[in-house]
């Protein structure tokens, strides 16, 4: 049996239980080891001593158990979530989402347009800020039941539950518009951020890896037909695997000045 001590309420309960056990143990030993009349005469001071000794010790132990529990939770969160963006890691994604289900799902693969160029021109701090903002937009405009994960670099994968291809495409288009409407501010610069999205259907019982590959091919088409858009996987156009192209120069259009609209 393991005792999970996570909150101060748990610490108080742990302390009360341990103090009660010590008190009962003290009483049992007293009546077993001493004559009854002597046990009765020492009942009150002996009980007080057990509580005075056991209570503080149990409190200290409970506090340490709470600290260990909280540390374990932080470590578990760190293993499951990307340190920079706070979304699921690739490993956590596969643990959570890969199992075949009996509910339809839409898979979205997305990344920031020309991200390498942004890093090269403005530095990695600007790149990190762009990734954090991008992840925040994806998370804020997806449901709590959906899964948002960073697969590496600027690439993210989203699983939308109880959604088909058409609904997944509509969600991707809304996300695309939201990213476009949310420039990032870095120093004196106000930079337009855009992203491309590929969408694929994942029917009940379908393979997650297959859907991700299809969405990735649709993303490739979105990149090579102008970026800043969402494309739905089409076997006629996306059937062959295509290697990802190289990043173009940043920005896709000049930075927006403080006086500019949009």
**Residue positions annotated with a catalytic role:** 154
Q: In a 3-state reduction of DSSP, which class is residue 232?
A: strand
Q: In a 3-state reduction of DSSP, which class is residue 204?
A: coil
How many secondary structure helices (H) and strands (E) does the chain include? 9, 7
Strands 195-202 and 230-232: parallel
Asked if residues 4 and 69 have their Cβ atoms less than 8 Å apart, the reply is yes
Residue corresponding to tokens 């500019």: 260
Burial 78-115 (b: 16+ CB within 10 A, else e): eebbbeebebbbeebbeeebeeebeebbbbbbbbbbbb
Residues 6+ apart with CB under 8 A from 39: 30, 31
Handedness of CA 75, 128, 220, 226 (dihedral sign): positive
Handedness of CA 188, 190, 196, 199 (dihedral sign): positive
Asked if residues 3 and 50 have their Cβ atoms less than 8 Å apart, the reply is no
> What are the φ and ψ backbone dihedral angles of 146, each rounded to 5 degrees?
-80, 165
């Amino acid at each position: 049996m393991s005792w999970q001590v996570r909150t101060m309420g748990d610490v108080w309960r742990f302390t009360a239980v341990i103090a009660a056990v010590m008190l009962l143990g003290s009483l049992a030993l007293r009546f077993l080891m001493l004559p009854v009349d002597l046990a009765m005469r020492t009942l009150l001071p002996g009980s007080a001593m057990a509580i005075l000794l056991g209570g503080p010790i149990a409190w200290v132990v409970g506090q340490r158990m709470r600290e260990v529990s909280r540390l374990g939770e932080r470590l578990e969160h760190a293993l499951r979530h990307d340190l920079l963006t706070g979304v699921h890691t690739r490993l956590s994604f596969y643990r959570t989402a890969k199992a075949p289900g009996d509910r339809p799902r839409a898979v979205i693969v997305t990344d920031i347009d020309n991200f390498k160029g942004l890093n090269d021109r403005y530095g990695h701090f600007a790149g990190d800020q762009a990734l954090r903002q991008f992840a925040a937009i994806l998370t804020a405009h997806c449901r709590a039941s959906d899964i948002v994960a960073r697969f590496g670099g600027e690439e993210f994968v989203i699983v939308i539950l109880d959604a088909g291809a058409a609904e997944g495409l509509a969600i991707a288009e809304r996300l695309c518009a939201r990213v476009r409407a949310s420039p990032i501010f870095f120093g004196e610069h106000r930079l337009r951020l855009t992203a491309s999205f590929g969408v694929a259907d994942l029917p009940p019982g379908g393979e997650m890896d297959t859907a991700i590959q299809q969405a990735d091919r649709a993303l490739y088409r979105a990149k090579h037909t102008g970026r800043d858009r969402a494309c739905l996987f089409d076997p006629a156009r996306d059937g062959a695997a295509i290697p990802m192209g190289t990043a173009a120069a940043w920005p896709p259009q000049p930075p927006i000045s403080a006086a500019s609209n949009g």
